[in-house]
Chain A
Amino acid sequence: MSEQPAIVKRQLPATPMARQIIERGTLREQAARMPFAAKVIGAIFGIGFLIANAGIAYIVVDGRLDGMWYDFRDLGYAIERLRVELRTVDGTIGGQELGAILAYWVPALIGGIGILSFLGGFLLIGSWIERRLLARFQIRTGPNRVGPYGLLQPLADALKLMQKEVLIPAGADRMLFYLPPVLIFIPAMLAWGPIPWAENMAYLDLNVGLLYVVSITSLSVLAVWLAGWSSNNHYALLGSMRTVAMMVSYEIPISLALLSVVLVTGSLRLSAIVAWQADHYLWLALLLPFALFTFFFSSTAEINRTPNDIAEAESEIVAGFHTEYSGMKAGLFLAVELGNALLTGALVATFFLGGYTLFGLEEWIPGYLILGAKATFGYFIFIWLRATLPRFRIDQLMNFAWKYLIPLSIANVLLVAIEASIAARWDAPAIIVYGLFVIVNIALTAYAVRAWARAIGYAMDVEQPAQPIFAKTIGGLKAARSLRGEA
């Protein structure tokens, strides 16, 4: 054994794959192993990148100072400027002023195409990110064959899905069978409307934006049920009924969580909610930790992500409501799932994490990049949860909504309402008022989450770990102690 000190020292893992991963070395070791030419080329590219960035920054700063140049951070203002220019166009069409029509339609088309192309780009790259990250979590490699790093894998998947035949089960309701993939896609697109991407850059800056998001996303329930019902399949119907019950249950905690957001900020307009957080230098995640938790967790139920992906519990009901769908119709369901994950990330960022603002940094970085970074962070957390947590059972899920989240959410709304009325009447500086509320809310949340869980029998007895049954039966510990002469 003395000839193999390395093995004894590093305790090599048993499986060949794990050994391969260990031997791959750290990033620094890999960098040191790189050939010299590659280093030179990398350095040239890196320096070139920095110079290009400096140049862009110079143009940007210079353009911002003279006040007429609209750089890439100010897309919203640039569109506003374009609208003003378009309004001055002369001429009439059918009794209407051409300028007014252009000023309405051109920005609308630009914004719509912008949001749709962003979403399309994400749908192309999103599944690659998810699969690679899941593989990384599970010590696998993930897709790495199609294109560099497997980047073209989603494209190949999409092409494959498009070529596949769309089967219609015998006895299915043909008209309703075609409807759900389209019907479920519409709310997933429309809900992006009121989200503010930067200052003055929301596609639909509705004064009822928050309600709009809640109501539009609740429309997908019907599509899910129709998909299950029209398939003429037991598994699909079971899966869709479960999903409908779950979505309906979890809409209540979501609404209550958002209600507390509205109580604090005093507006249903999403850009006003973001502006409130920017004005107070306070993310609502700190002020309303329980609302954040409720919203995030319930959203995983709404969009069928992992702790709550009852809809496609493969071991129980095959694939849930889209069991019978094949080809691009199934692909649409998958795409909606992916897009909804990013949408929820963006909503969490807007409501609780300051939206497009980052403590003044939005003056220098475009707001839509900040929002995109926060939304992708939310998406990363979803992937993390998917790699980590097992799936809830359906009864656990419903119990958790009705017995745990909803009572606590109602108490949370009451607390926030009291705080909001105090904040409206108390003349102290905002940092004192909201600092106090932050401390109170975090402490109360930490207490109430544990206490209520214990009251309805969820909490595990962490402080006093029970003696293992086997050891108790054979008296192992006691015997060991008596052997050691301790007792």
Chain B
Amino acid sequence: MDSLGIVVAFYVLSAVTIGAALSVFLLRNLVHAIVLLVLSFLGMAGLFASLSADFIAIAQILIYAGAISVLLVFAVMLTPLSSRNNANSLYVGPGILAGVAIAAIVVFTAIEVDWVQLTGDALRDRSFVDTIETIGDQLLGKHILAFEVASVLLLFALLGAIVLVTDPRGVGTDVTDDADDAPGATEEPA
């Protein structure tokens, strides 16, 4: 039996995570939804930390709570109408389908895995130190191909983003010049 603190932490973190995730769907205000989504990410990181998955917990904070939230912030700021309402969505049907599929995967995994072999005393017997060295060895050893492919993919994404935002007329021209500011500005000299 685990100690009392871990059990309490599990229930509190689960309640925070699930409650925040539910509120993300139920709130009408998109910005409130973003804040609660970040709270749900943080609760998830806490769950990882309580499972001794230190590296994954930190990566969850760094990537999801730190970076993805900023991405969402920019999405809200750059799409004027989306910041008003969280209720209208064209993708309710596909969204429900995807949610059911993910839930099915999780449930299937939970049923199929023999948890007695992987938790509790079995884990303690393996003289399990910390995850970060294991993850590093695996990433740069066994899974080196996937690692390199992912890095190349990210490089292409970076280059693609640069190509997309580059002005075809040439570097240095100011694309943000407000042409519709003055009424006579439409017939500007070429």
The answer to whether B66 and A219 have CB atoms under 8 Å apart is yes
Which residues of the other chain, A, contact B29 by a CB distance below 8 angstroms? 173
- A208/B55 contact (C-beta < 8 A), A95-B4, A175-B32, A268-B132 known: yes
Contact string, A173-216, partner B, CB cutoff 8 A, digits 1/0?
A: 10110010000000000000000000000000011100110111
Asked whether B16 is an interface residue with its Cβ less than 8 Å from the other chain, the reply is no
Interface positions of B from 76 to 95, Cβ below 8 Å from A:
77
- A222/B4 contact (C-beta < 8 A), A229-B31, A268-B132 known: no
Which residues of the other chain, A, contact B73 by a CB distance below 8 angstroms? 222, 225, 244
The answer to whether B132 and A207 have CB atoms under 8 Å apart is yes
Number of A-B contacts defined by CB within 8 Å: 60
Asked whether B58 is an interface residue with its Cβ less than 8 Å from the other chain, the reply is yes
Which residues of the other chain, A, contact B54 by a CB distance below 8 angstroms? 206-208
Give the number of residues in A that approach B within 8 Å (Cβ atoms).
28
Asked whether B38 is an interface residue with its Cβ less than 8 Å from the other chain, the reply is yes
The answer to whether A207 and B130 have CB atoms under 8 Å apart is yes
Asked whether B69 is an interface residue with its Cβ less than 8 Å from the other chain, the reply is yes
Asked whether B21 is an interface residue with its Cβ less than 8 Å from the other chain, the reply is no
Asked whether A342 is an interface residue with its Cβ less than 8 Å from the other chain, the reply is no
Q: B71 CB to closest chain A CB, in angstroms?
A: 9
- A222/B31 contact (C-beta < 8 A), A206-B54, A208-B55, A215-B62 known: no
The answer to whether A176 and B32 have CB atoms under 8 Å apart is yes
Which residues of the other chain, A, contact B77 by a CB distance below 8 angstroms? 241
Bound state CA distance, A213 and B38, in angstroms? 18
Which residues of the other chain, B, contact A445 by a CB distance below 8 angstroms? none
The answer to whether A173 and B62 have CB atoms under 8 Å apart is no
Partner of A221, one of B31, B70, B132: B70
5 cross-chain pairs, A with B, having the tightest CB-CB distances, nearest first: A215-B62, A218-B66, A215-B61, A211-B58, A208-B58
A residues bordering B, Cβ < 8 Å? 94-96, 100, 173, 175-176, 179, 206-208, 211-212, 214-216, 218-219, 221-222, 225-226, 229-230, 241, 244, 248, 268
B residues bordering A, Cβ < 8 Å? 3-4, 29, 31-32, 35, 38, 54-55, 58-59, 61-62, 65-67, 69-70, 73-74, 77, 130, 132
Given contacts A179-B35, A211-B55, A244-B70, 7 further A-B contacts (CB under 8 A): A100-B3, A176-B35, A218-B67, A222-B35, A225-B73, A226-B31, A229-B31
